[in-house]
Amino acid sequence: MSKRAPSRPTGPPKLSWPKYVLAAVSLFVVVTVYWTLQEVKRLQRAKDASQDLRPGQLPPPAPPASPTNGTGSSLSPFGPTIASKAPAPASAPEGMVWIPGGEFSMGSDAASESLCGLPGVTRDAMPIHRVYVDAFWMDATEVTNEQFEQFVKATGYITVAEQKPTQEEFPTAPPENLIAGSTVFTATPQPVKLDNYFQWWRYVAGANWRHPSGPESDLAGRAKYPVVQIAYEDAVAYAKWAGKRLPTEAEWEFAARGGLAGRLYAWGDELKPGGKFQANIYQGHFPVEGGDTGEDGFKGVAPVAQYPPNPYGLYDVAGNVWEWVSDWYRPDTYARLKVAGGVARNPQGPDAPYDPAEPTEKKRVHRGGSYLCTDRYCTRYMVGTRGKGEVRTASNHLGFRCVKAGTNPGGQN
């Protein structure tokens, strides 16, 4: 049997080059698309960065979280606190404690940011920068209802919340809506998304410092509670009458840190050392009705000085009620000081306010957080973080304390 001849191809000869051309074209298309996408992303990043640098915008996102051990080690952006060693004057004004002044690292870093359920709320307290403040006296507690009452009795002062709003101030409001009152926290019937605080704040006619939650509420049994429903000018008027003034933001933070450096809280890095709360804040589902469990001992506001003081003898620098300080608010204040470099000496805040979120509002800084602060929404009971508020807007979680210039016997700070 003869060997079978190999079969011949019956069709046209098979060519391999179109396959290679097709593969090359495909590869070219894939590479081009990938490069274009990368370029678009790069341009977007450059655009975002330039927006970050516009006046009034937040500083760029913080670097990765770093330990806040406060030792000035290379791991921490915080340097040591160098408090003045000059002795306090012999006699202290009643109810005030001596704050020695000195140099410290001010602000809040990424470690604080990571502890809040809402991203971004502590970004305006970045970056950490060095500050020096002179020595001064500071009220050991927030100003109480009985103290504010003495002022009102002596002067006949009428707070902003007690005054009928004017048409000039609210040109678009119908006249029937111009009623004296103030903002009051109102728990929501159901859980809500935490993206709009108007859901739990409402304007209540007749709310003022004598009636903190509205006309039905009063100050019975509340002499030692912090006065609330105080607008900025009310706090300034009280301070002037008392021969004092409001603290600057830098004075407030130096005092609240109590000589410690770079800690998350006024008392250290642990929220509940030994399982014990150190401040009146909020536990439970915020801001739902019945959500405040009062695990820290208080649902709502507490009398002053219910928790241990900080090393300088100050009570309630975290939680209970927010406190007005004298600086205008800008989110980029710290970024500007950092760029200026060196040590900022007795900084007084920016010359004018600007909040990109509400550009027409004139806001000053609030510090310390309140009984409504929770890790779900506002963790600003952390000592380096900041709040803000329109100067004529009061509320039932906002009060103040005062300071007084200190004169050192040795003339050294």
Q: Which is nearer to Ca ion, 280 or 379 (CB)?
A: 280
Whole-angstrom Cα distance, residue 182 to residue 172? 18
96-99 and 82-83 as β-strands: parallel, antiparallel, unpaired?
unpaired
Does 370 help bind Ca ion (rule: CB under 5 A)?
A: no
Q: Mark the segment that binds Ca ion (CB under 5 A) among 166-174, 243-251, 296-304, 405-413.
A: 296-304
Whole-angstrom Cα distance, residue 333 to residue 321? 23
Give Cα separations from 63 to 59, 236, 328, 380 (angstroms).
11, 38, 26, 20
> Residue 387: beta bridge partners?
366
Does 316 help bind Ca ion (rule: CB under 5 A)?
A: no
- To Ca ion, the closest distance from the beta carbon of 372 in angstroms equals 9
Q: Which is nearer to Ca ion, 209 or 286 (CB)?
A: 286
Q: Mark the segment that binds Ca ion (CB under 5 A) among 94-102, 288-296, 320-328, 348-356.
A: 288-296
Q: Which is nearer to Ca ion, 262 or 287 (CB)?
A: 287
Q: Which is nearer to Ca ion, 222 or 336 (CB)?
A: 222
Count of residues touching Ca ion (by CB under 5 A): 3
Q: Which is nearer to Ca ion, 214 or 291 (CB)?
A: 291
Quick count: other Cβ atoms within 10 Å of Cβ 60?
14
- To Ca ion, the closest distance from the beta carbon of 169 in angstroms equals 34
CB 232, CB 328: distance < 8 Å: no
Q: Give, as ranges, the residues between 18 and 77 that touch Ca ion (CB under 5 A).
A: none
Residue from 103, 296, 316, 355 touching Ca ion (CB under 5 A): that is 296
- To Ca ion, the closest distance from the beta carbon of 307 in angstroms equals 11
- To Ca ion, the closest distance from the beta carbon of 269 in angstroms equals 21
DSSP 3-state of 57 = coil
Q: Mark the segment that binds Ca ion (CB under 5 A) among 106-114, 176-184, 292-300, 393-401.
A: 292-300
Q: Mark the segment that binds Ca ion (CB under 5 A) among 24-32, 233-241, 295-303, 387-395.
A: 295-303
Whole-angstrom Cα distance, residue 282 to residue 301? 10
Instruction: State both tokens at 385.
Output: 């973080």
Q: Which of 62, 196, 189, 176 has its CA nearest to residue 124?
A: 62
The angle that helices 232-241 and 145-155 make with each other, rounded to 10 degrees, is 70
Site string for Ca ion, 189-218 (x = CB under 5 A): ------------------------------
Does 395 help bind Ca ion (rule: CB under 5 A)?
A: no
Q: Which is nearer to Ca ion, 139 or 292 (CB)?
A: 292
Q: Which of 104, 85, 98 has its CA nearest to residue 347?
A: 104
Residue from 84, 280, 310, 370 touching Ca ion (CB under 5 A): that is 280
Q: Which is nearer to Ca ion, 296 or 332 (CB)?
A: 296
Peptide bond into 287 cis (omega under 30): yes
Q: Mark the segment that binds Ca ion (CB under 5 A) among 100-108, 278-286, 343-351, 358-366.
A: 278-286
Eight-class DSSP state of 86: S
Q: Give, as ranges, the residues between 81 and 140 that touch Ca ion (CB under 5 A).
A: none
- To Ca ion, the closest distance from the beta carbon of 379 in angstroms equals 14
Q: Mark the segment that binds Ca ion (CB under 5 A) among 30-38, 172-180, 293-301, 354-362.
A: 293-301
Q: Which of 85, 138, 79 has its CA nearest to residue 106?
A: 79
- To Ca ion, the closest distance from the beta carbon of 381 in angstroms equals 10
Eight-class DSSP state of 192: -
Does 354 help bind Ca ion (rule: CB under 5 A)?
A: no
Q: Which is nearer to Ca ion, 331 or 368 (CB)?
A: 368
Q: In what order do the strands lie in the sheet with 398-399?
A: 387-390, 363-367, 322-328, 398-399
Q: Which is nearer to Ca ion, 254 or 286 (CB)?
A: 286
Residue 278 CB contacts under 8 Å (≥ 6 apart), including other chains: 265, 266, 267, 271, 272, 307, 308, 318
Judge residue 291's burial from the number of C-beta atoms within 10 Å of its C-beta, 0-12 exposed, 13-18 middle, 19 or more buried.
middle
* Neighbour-count burial for 174-185, b at 16+ CB within 10 Å, e otherwise: eeeeeebbbbbb
Quick count: other Cβ atoms within 10 Å of Cβ 164?
8
- To Ca ion, the closest distance from the beta carbon of 280 in angstroms equals 5
Residue from 286, 298, 307, 400 touching Ca ion (CB under 5 A): that is 298
Q: Which is nearer to Ca ion, 208 or 280 (CB)?
A: 280
Q: Which is nearer to Ca ion, 104 or 298 (CB)?
A: 298
The residues that touch Ca ion, with contacts defined as CB under 5 A, are 280, 296, 298
